[in-house]
Homo-oligomer: A and B are copies of this chain.
Amino acid sequence: MLLKRIVFICCVLIAQNGLAQEHPNLILTKQGVNDIKAQLGNVPLFDATLAQVKEKVDAQILKGIDVPVPKDMAGGYTHEQHKLNYLTMQEAGVLYQILGDEKYAIYVRDMLMEYAKMFPGLPRHPQERSYARGKLFWQCLNDSVWLVYTSQAYDCVYNFLSKKEVKYIEKNLFKPMADFLSVDTPQFFNRIHNHSTWGNVAVGMIALVMDDDALVDRALYGIKDLKLDAGKDNDGGDIFVEGQKAGFLANLEEPFSPDGYYTEGAYYQRYAMYPFMIFGEALQNVKPEVKPFEHKNGVLLKGVDALMNLTDKDGEFFALNDSQKGMSYYTASLVSALDIAYYYGDRDPSLLSIAQEQGRVQLDQTGLAVAMDIRDGKAKPFDKKSLLLTDGADGDQGAISILRSTKNDDLTLVGKNAAQGLSHGHYDKLSISLFHEGNEVLQDYGLARFVNIEQKNGGGYLKENKTWAKQTIAHNTIVQDETSHFGGKYDVGSLHHSDMYVFDVENPDVQISSAKEVNAYPGTVMQRTTVMLNNESFEQPVLLDLMQVNSDKKHQFDLPFYYLGQVISTSFDYEKYQTLSTLGKDHGYQHLWKEGSGRSTTGDAALTWRSHDTFFTLTTTADAEDDLIFGRIGANDPEYNLRPDPVLIVRKNTDSALFASVLETHGSYNSVSEFSENAFSSISKLSVLKSGVDYSAIQITMMNGDEFVFIMSNSEASKTQKHELKLNAKVYTWTGVSYFKKQ
């Protein structure tokens, strides 16, 4: 009894003096472990995840420990082995805590000892392709990811290790690695960039486990008083910008907008979300005074919500900027981010339905909470709505606008009216992409890269990413004189952003997003107004797309539509060529085959295609001298790095024009019953009533004779302003920025 009392007093003293930090406490906490143990067997989603992880780790333990000397690029053996190692160590650490079986701790310990033996003798990685070569991997980025995961494993087995082992591992592995990733590689550590976020978090996580305040400080605020001009990174991004802050908190402030949009786009946000959230959780556990989830008005939690919304019906991310198609919120980093956001946020029950679809949880107290609440029937549907996500640290650098249909099929428009997006940005001001029921209708090409496929440049970016995917002509937006926005110059593009003009989704049947771009082509103003329309005259939701261009002189303007599917019919005549040549020489035009072209004599041109057993018709206004060009991606593609997707380009030579288009979804085809329904457009005529700086107006005439007029006020966005406009001898009066009515 006396002995117990003494032990208790000692513990209290030690805790108060901070002489010994509790372990685990980085992600899993002691309390969390206790709660988990108490619930085991009664939380289906948690139990299922645990069983999967156990099976995986047990299989790895049977294989034995393999810590090879680093040699290969991504996709190669040593790269993949080190990747497997950090994933398995992290999971083995968790299993040790939850299941109490020492074999997991032994596995982590033995592997850490192997790394600690090898690390001091390691030079930088022999592959010389990175601006910041790592030691275990070809780039510091991957070394940092290794450390983010391994820190967690270390924390989980810390109490299992002898003092001697702790000392040996920290001295030979963790401390030198933390220095290597920071002070030894400042061009990697001290940037505003997703690479630096990983570096900051890696250093921060291990610092928290080692209880090294100076190192925590370096992670949070960067290396102080560093001055060097290191030029560009491998993606063409600036390494240092004068006066810029560094460290985790700066990386949290800069690239995230107040709405939680990450300026590089959803694909990189998804990647960055893991270090942000996991370090948020770690800080919350070890240094709650930093208040990571309250920083910048709770931007981390908003970021998770933004990401969930930056997806199509299937949960796949919109292909903004460099983005590999198919990535979705089912990815592991978003399982973790969602669980953490749920736990530290306001326990939004709609997140639970996504967690259910994800089918697994993070194996800590956050995942436990999610799994328990799902078990208890608290999940509600995650209802994706129309949404504006501002860009820029202060939210004043334009925005991503998302319009979602509210009746019948799911039609989703994404407008990129934002900033450049750092080094992963594309030159695609005011570009749009369109999704129907989770399928692409008008695609953004995404990136030109095969992530982790070694044969394709070691899984890294392909040269076609720069020569094609980033270029303006690869997007559904205006190209002037066959030159990309800002001349395709990163330095120039980075200075500017588009500006939102109107985003009004109050009326669910006439949702409007309109934005302007005045810098992409000096002397030219582009304004794009997109309207998501429900109207009983149409079978399905309809997109109106008004691209108003006004310039101080005459130019060639191309507006591409990257429709996906099989051409069914056109309303205009066109010629297909006997030999194919490229559409142009540069700025991405060299990658397009010119397959055919035509002109319309009726004032409009319609293209109907079929995709995923649904019909789509794009009707666009076209004068008799406008070219309607059929193109296909794939020229100057010596290694078949590009997808041979089709495009229809509307080309006008003018100083002012309204590219007005209506996109209908209609009908269906069933290849088993061979029934074809409603394969025809409902529109008989589309015409421009007004094209100008102040107003854009169109008239849609339906097959049944009905007429609709849409008018947009381009220079006065007030909701209360009265307008009166005479078009074709008829006077239209209305209040607010736009007019839409059946005539």
Contact = CB atoms under 8 A, between A and B. Distances in A.
Interface of A: 75, 324-328, 330-332, 450-456, 459, 566-569, 575-576, 578-582, 593, 595, 608, 610, 630, 632, 634-640, 643-644, 646, 669, 671-676, 679-680
Contact of A672 (B328, B459, B669, B672): B328
B582 A581 contact: no
Nearest to A640: B567
A327 B673 CA distance: 8
B578 A454 contact: no
Contact of A576 (B638, B671, B672): B638
B580 A593 contact: yes
Given A327-B671, A581-B579, A671-B324, A455 B639 contact: no
Contact of A452 (B569, B643, B676): B676
A266 to B, nearest CB: 14
29 contacts: A75-B676, A75-B679, A325-B671, A326-B671, A326-B672, A327-B671, A328-B672, A331-B673, A450-B568, A451-B674, A452-B676, A453-B669, A453-B676, A454-B679, A454-B680, A455-B568, A455-B569, A456-B568, A459-B676, A567-B640, A576-B636, A576-B638, A578-B635, A579-B580, A579-B581, A580-B580, A580-B581, A580-B593, A632-B644
Nearest to A638: B576
Given A453-B679, A455-B608, A679-B454, A582 B578 contact: yes
Contacts of A676: 75, 452-454, 459
Nearest to A459: B676
Contacts of A595: 634
A451 B673 CA distance: 10
A259 to B, nearest CB: 25
Nearest to A573: B638
Choose among A567, A575, A610, A672 the residue with the greatest number of B CB atoms under 10 Å from its CB.
A672
B679 A455 contact: yes
A669 B637 CA distance: 23
Contacts of A330: 672
Given A453-B568, A575-B638, 19 more contacts: A327-B671, A327-B674, A332-B673, A452-B669, A452-B675, A452-B676, A453-B676, A453-B679, A454-B676, A455-B569, A455-B608, A566-B640, A576-B638, A578-B635, A578-B636, A579-B579, A580-B580, A580-B581, A595-B634
A636 B575 CA distance: 10
Given A324-B671, A580-B579, A679-B75, A566 B643 contact: yes
Tell me the dominant secondary structure on chain A's binding face: loop
A639 to B, nearest CB: 7
A608 B640 CA distance: 11
Nearest to A582: B578
Nearest to A325: B671
B581 A581 contact: no
A210 to B, nearest CB: 31
B75 A639 contact: no
A617 B570 CA distance: 39
Contacts of A639: 567
A674 B459 CA distance: 10
Closest 7 pairs between A and B when the two form their complex, measured CB to CB:
A326-B671, A567-B640, A455-B569, A580-B580, A452-B676, A579-B581, A451-B674
Given A567-B639, A643-B566, A674 B581 contact: no
Contacts of A672: 326-328, 330-331
Contacts of A324: 671, 674
Contacts of A332: 673
A639 B575 CA distance: 9
A121 to B, nearest CB: 30
Nearest to A637: B576
A451 B568 CA distance: 12
A640 B570 CA distance: 10
A578 B583 CA distance: 11
A672 B75 CA distance: 16
A529 B328 CA distance: 44
A579 B594 CA distance: 10
A574 to B, nearest CB: 8
A611 to B, nearest CB: 12
A704 B77 CA distance: 16
A287 B634 CA distance: 63
Which of A580, A582, A638 has the most C-beta atoms of chain B within 10 angstroms of its own C-beta? Answer: A580
Contacts of A673: 331-332
A220 B639 CA distance: 61
A637 B595 CA distance: 10
A16 to B, nearest CB: 45
Nearest to A324: B671
Contacts of A640: 566-567, 630
Contacts of A566: 640, 643
A270 to B, nearest CB: 10
A592 B31 CA distance: 68
Contacts of A646: 644
A673 B328 CA distance: 9
A646 B632 CA distance: 14
A643 B565 CA distance: 10
Contacts of A454: 676, 679-680
Contacts of A580: 579-581, 593
Contacts of A327: 671-672, 674
A404 B437 CA distance: 35
A589 B327 CA distance: 39
Contacts of A680: 454-455
A654 to B, nearest CB: 28
A79 to B, nearest CB: 11
B452 A674 contact: yes
A162 to B, nearest CB: 36
Contacts of A325: 671
Interface centre among A459, A638, A646, A674 (most CB of B within 10 A): A674
Contacts of A452: 669, 674-676
Contacts of A568: 450, 453, 455-456
